Amino acid sequence: MDDKHEQRRPVVVTERGSVRGVTEEGGVAAFRGIPYAASPVGDLRFSSPRPHPGWNGVRDAARSGPGAPQGHSRLEAILGPRELHSDEAGCLTLNVWAPEGALDAGAPPRPVLMWIHGGGYTSGSGGWDLYDGGRLAALGGIVVVTINYRLGPLGYLQAPELGADNIGSQDQAAALRWVRDSVAAFGGDPEAITVGGQSAGAYSALALALDPGTRGLVRRVIGQSGPWGLEPQEPAEAADAAAHYLRLLGVPGAGALRGLPVERLLEAYGRLVVERARPGDTAPPTYPVRGGALTATGWREAVAGGALRGTDVLLGGTQDEMTAFLAITSFGEPLDVAAEQFFRAGITEIAGQCARDGAPAYVYRFTRRPPGEADIGGVALGATHCAELPFLFGTFDAFRDAPMLGRVDAADRALGRAFGGALAAFTATGSPNGPGLDPWGPWIPGVPGLEPGAEPESGPEVRRFGPATR
């Protein structure tokens, strides 16, 4: 093999086997579809993640693995349609992007961002081109990792007789431990790991930063549009949802679930979503259960108890979070009130506790709206839930069919560099400030306009990305 080809297809040795990636735009080395756990098939369905047995030879890592089995996203009306490629076999994989020079012998280790996709614990994949980490890795000189985890009934159905206990969250923890153990081979620093995510991914990232079993691995945490108003599911509610699900499947108990075709499991779960839907409720039927794995308590109790001390924190959301959910539910109150209860009040509470603990958090509001004001049911989307994602990853082309994005111009691309650059700088240093970036101060409790329920003023305490006014 000639030197030029070796540079285009770099090989990295991990503890489970060697992987061959590809060199992409900007000199970024991409390694996709790397198993971090064994395939959850057969007797491993509904089981905690198990170590992957490894492989002989060099595994091709040019393409992402399949997503976890799932139905279509509830938010396709704003994200655009997706062609699903999912399979239980091979779904517990992750993807790594290393910036140019990170793989060179003697190169200093780079900070790491492990980013967790959202999707209401029912849909999504870290392998989707929407979340391609190459541009972000190049922009910030950081190693970016995106992960898959089990979703819907396969990830969050509570079935004690099968040992099923917040399985999707356990997958996330297993991926984080893989990063700790293996990221150095990709030029990453296992002592400088940021966990981040959007929506359910933000909720999951914070859980990893709070749980006693994983928080020692987390240096920093980024929470984008976390549904902080969502308390963990109570055990009695989880048991009721599981019983309802078994009735829909027509089986006497959870013991039968390992032998059913996955298509049947997903079809019944789709009916469960419809039958348990309530106006104003955006929660899925199954999600992390209080008292279960990585959710011993709710985030509120853990944060108040000081579990974030020593962890750098960056939180934020979009100006018009709730418009995205009009396609799936209706609200009996103004959307700004619902957004305050479900998203914003939690940001204020977490940031306030961080300040009291002596390490104020950074807070942002994303305000860019699509040109022409796309709408759902006559209501303008504005800067809706998920609107910042193409700007973080620089994946505008992948979002070309997303009504929430619309036409992109040079100002939008500059906004993407500013937003992605700030979050990459935070990953690297604990501060979102850096060369070429506008100054951004930490959130300060008591500043006029920043109390719970109030609209943040423009200024350094709450960094606005996009127009300052509507």
Query: What is the set of active-site residues?
Result: 199, 321, 385
Contact 66, 85 (CB under 8 A): yes
Q: In this structure, what token pair is assigned to residue 30? A: 């991409």
CA angle, residues 64, 257, 292, in degrees to nearest 5: 75
3-state helix, strand, coil in the chain (%, to 5): 35, 20, 45
159 DSSP β-pair partners: 164
143 DSSP β-pair partners: 112
CA angle, residues 65, 91, 234, in degrees to nearest 5: 140
* DSSP per-residue codes, 294-325: TBSS-HHHHHHTTTTTT-EEEEEEETBGGGGG
Among 290, 111, 319, residue whose Cα is nearest residue 218: 111
In Å, what is the CA distance from 53 to each residue of 81, 90, 177, 358, 396? 35, 12, 16, 44, 37
Q: In this structure, what token pair is assigned to residue 33? A: 């579809």
Among 180, 111, 113, residue whose Cα is nearest residue 144: 113
Contact 99, 424 (CB under 8 A): no
Among 85, 155, 149, residue whose Cα is nearest residue 114: 149
Q: In this structure, what token pair is assigned to residue 10? A: 């770099």
